[in-house]
């Protein structure tokens, strides 16, 4: 529209100039006709008029060509200007979009930085907690190893003590079995010979001292060294002066032995295990044969011993086994204490295992949190790379925008120069026409 208006204005101006020139030409013709009085002057004027007409025709043709070229160039320049304005608006819109996007990305980057700082702080706290848990775990493992070592040591000591006890019991059983056999043979010999025993009781040091055993409890439980207190047992019978000694009944003997197992008050803790010894020989006094005397007391062995010695030849293996079972009380107590210690160690072991499982669960949770933190850090790095790429694109768009503005300025300068050239051409032609008219 502007080009058309501009072309119309120029056309109107040119037509006005043409009309003014025609009026001037008519005036000149009239003046020449009036002023020419002769043929020479008329011919000169006609020639000048013809030359002026030809020049005017050529000038008008040239002017029309120049005007058409100028109008076409102006139209092309205006079209380029419109396209440049449109591209400028597009570039400005894109620049606004890029600026808003960059601001949004910068805000997201700030949020990511804040989150990364908080995650790093949490990761440091988790690392500190992990170090503490690892130290506690190492302490628990060392305590568990120490407990295992002490348990193994106590187990070895207990096994050694039990083997020693078994060896002692075997040795004691052998000695007591030999003593029982000897006592049985002696009792049978006395029955066959018809002799009566009237000697005082002998102390059981000769028989009981080899069997007395010093029990040393396990050092793991810290017991003190003690001796077993014996339980005295007496057996007595009356014999006639001339009749052979009766063989005691096994049931009555066992009942008397059970009744005699109860300790008398004030009984000293000494064992007197004695066997009857011959106090008289074949040439002994007859007064001893005619009197009724009490047989010497036969005291039992230590309850810890495997078997009890007796003067009865009818002592069975069941009696000896019952005696050995009754003497196993301290060993059972020791085993119970050892089992209690083992249960305590097993409970401590279970507690340590639970603690280790809890620490392992906490460690796995800390590992998962660290993995999540690492993933978030990787995402943050990806966002930073995207922001860097957006910034580069923004810089490229800014450079393109600057180059577009420069190109637009150059085009506008070219348009101004062309307009100035058109004005100069008009002025030149006007001067030329005026000079030719004059």
> Can you give the pLDDT at residue 427?
84
Distance separating alpha carbons of residues 425 and 421, to the nearest angstrom: 6
> Can you give the pLDDT at residue 139?
80
Maximum Cα–Cα distance across the chain: 229
Q: Which residues pair with 203 in a beta bridge?
A: none
> Can you give the pLDDT at residue 60?
82
**Residues contacting 349, CB < 8 A, separation 6+:** 144, 147, 148
Supply the pTM of this predicted model.
Answer: 0.28
And the tokens for 189? Answer: 């010999």
And the tokens for 201? Answer: 């009781």
Enumerate long-range contacts of 341-346, CB under 8 Å, 24 or more apart: 341/154, 341/220, 341/221, 342/151, 345/147, 345/150, 345/151
Strand positions, DSSP E, 46-107: none
> Can you give the pLDDT at residue 187?
56
> Can you give the pLDDT at residue 40?
66
And the tokens for 243? Answer: 């009749």
With beta carbons less than 8 A apart as the criterion, state whether 40 and 388 touch.
no
DSSP string, 344-409: HHHHHHHHHHHHHHHHHHHHHHHHHHHHHHHHHHHHHHHHHHHHHHHHHHHHHHHHHHHHHHHHHH
* SS3 of residue 45 by DSSP: helix
> Can you give the pLDDT at residue 181?
76
Count CB neighbours of 361 within 10 A.
10
Distance separating alpha carbons of residues 100 and 77, to the nearest angstrom: 34
Run means of pLDDT, 10 residues per run, the chain, 438 residues = 74 83 82 66 76 83 84 85 86 84 82 80 81 80 83 86 86 83 64 44 38 39 38 37 39 41 39 37 38 38 41 44 48 82 87 87 86 85 84 83 80 82 82 77
Distance separating alpha carbons of residues 172 and 275, to the nearest angstrom: 18
**Residues contacting 112, CB < 8 A, separation 6+:** 379, 380, 383, 384
C-alpha triplet 344, 346, 352: angle, nearest 5°: 105
Q: Nearest-CA neighbor of 199 among 280, 282, 300?
A: 280
Distance separating alpha carbons of residues 130 and 261, to the nearest angstrom: 67
And the tokens for 355? Answer: 């603690």
Domain boundaries, the chain: 149-314
* SS3 of residue 226 by DSSP: strand
Distance separating alpha carbons of residues 20 and 117, to the nearest angstrom: 86
Dihedral over Cα of 312, 313, 316, 320: its sign: positive
DSSP string, 308-337: ---S-TT--HHHHHHHHHHTTHHHHHHHHH
Using CA atoms, how far residue 385 sits from 68, 96, 106, 396, in Å, is 57, 22, 12, 17
Enumerate long-range contacts of 246-249, CB under 8 Å, 24 or more apart: 247/191, 247/313, 247/314, 248/312, 248/314
Distance separating alpha carbons of residues 356 and 358, to the nearest angstrom: 5
**Cα R_g (the chain), whole angstroms:** 70
Dihedral over Cα of 41, 43, 44, 46: its sign: positive
Q: Which residues pair with 214 in a beta bridge?
A: 227
And the tokens for 245? Answer: 């000694």
With beta carbons less than 8 A apart as the criterion, state whether 404 and 87 touch.
yes
């Amino acid at each position: 529209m502007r080009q058309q208006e501009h072309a119309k204005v120029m056309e109107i101006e040119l037509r006005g100039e043409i009309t003014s020139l025609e009026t001037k030409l008519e005036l000149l013709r009239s003046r020449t006709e009036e002023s020419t009085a002769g043929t020479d002057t008329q011919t000169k004027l006609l020639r000048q008029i013809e030359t002026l007409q030809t020049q005017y025709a050529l000038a008008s043709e040239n002017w029309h060509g120049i005007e058409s070229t100028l109008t076409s160039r102006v139209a092309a320049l205006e079209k380029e200007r419109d396209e440049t304005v449109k591209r400028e608006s597009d570039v400005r819109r894109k620049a606004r979009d890029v600026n808003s996007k960059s601001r949004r990305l910068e805000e997201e980057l700030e949020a990511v930085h804040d989150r990364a700082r908080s995650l790093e702080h949490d990761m440091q706290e988790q690392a500190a907690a992990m170090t503490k848990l690892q130290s506690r775990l190492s302490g628990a493992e060392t305590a568990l190893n120490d407990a295992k070592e002490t348990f193994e040591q106590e187990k070895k000591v207990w096994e050694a003590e039990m083997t020693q006890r078994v060896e002692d019991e075997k040795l004691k059983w052998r000695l007591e079995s030999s003593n029982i056999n000897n006592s049985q043979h002696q009792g049978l010999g006395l029955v066959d010979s018809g002799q009566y025993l009237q000697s005082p009781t002998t102390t059981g040091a000769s028989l009981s001292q080899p069997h007395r055993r010093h029990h040393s409890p396990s050092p793991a439980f810290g017991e003190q060294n003690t001796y077993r207190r014996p339980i005295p047992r007496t057996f007595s019978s009356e014999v006639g002066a001339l009749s052979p000694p009766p063989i005691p009944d096994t049931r009555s003997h066992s009942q008397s032995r059970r009744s005699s197992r109860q300790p008398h008050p004030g009984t000293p803790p000494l064992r007197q295990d004695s066997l009857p010894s011959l106090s008289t020989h074949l040439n002994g006094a007859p007064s001893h044969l005619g009197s009724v005397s009490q047989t010497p007391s036969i005291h039992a062995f230590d309850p810890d011993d495997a078997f009890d010695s007796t003067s009865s030849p009818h002592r069975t293996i069941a009696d000896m086994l019952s005696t050995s079972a009754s003497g196993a009380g301290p060993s059972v107590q020791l085993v119970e204490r050892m089992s209690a210690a083992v249960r305590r160690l097993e409970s401590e072991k279970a507690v340590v295992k639970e603690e280790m499982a809890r620490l392992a669960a906490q460690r796995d949770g800390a590992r998962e949190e660290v993995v999540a933190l690492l993933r978030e850090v990787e995402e943050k790095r990806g966002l930073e790379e995207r922001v860097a790429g957006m910034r580069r694109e923004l810089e490229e768009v800014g450079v393109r925008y600057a180059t577009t503005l420069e190109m637009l300025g150059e085009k506008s300068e070219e348009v101004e120069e062309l307009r100035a050239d058109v004005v100069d051409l008009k002025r030149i032609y006007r001067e030329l026409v005026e000079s030719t008219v004059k």
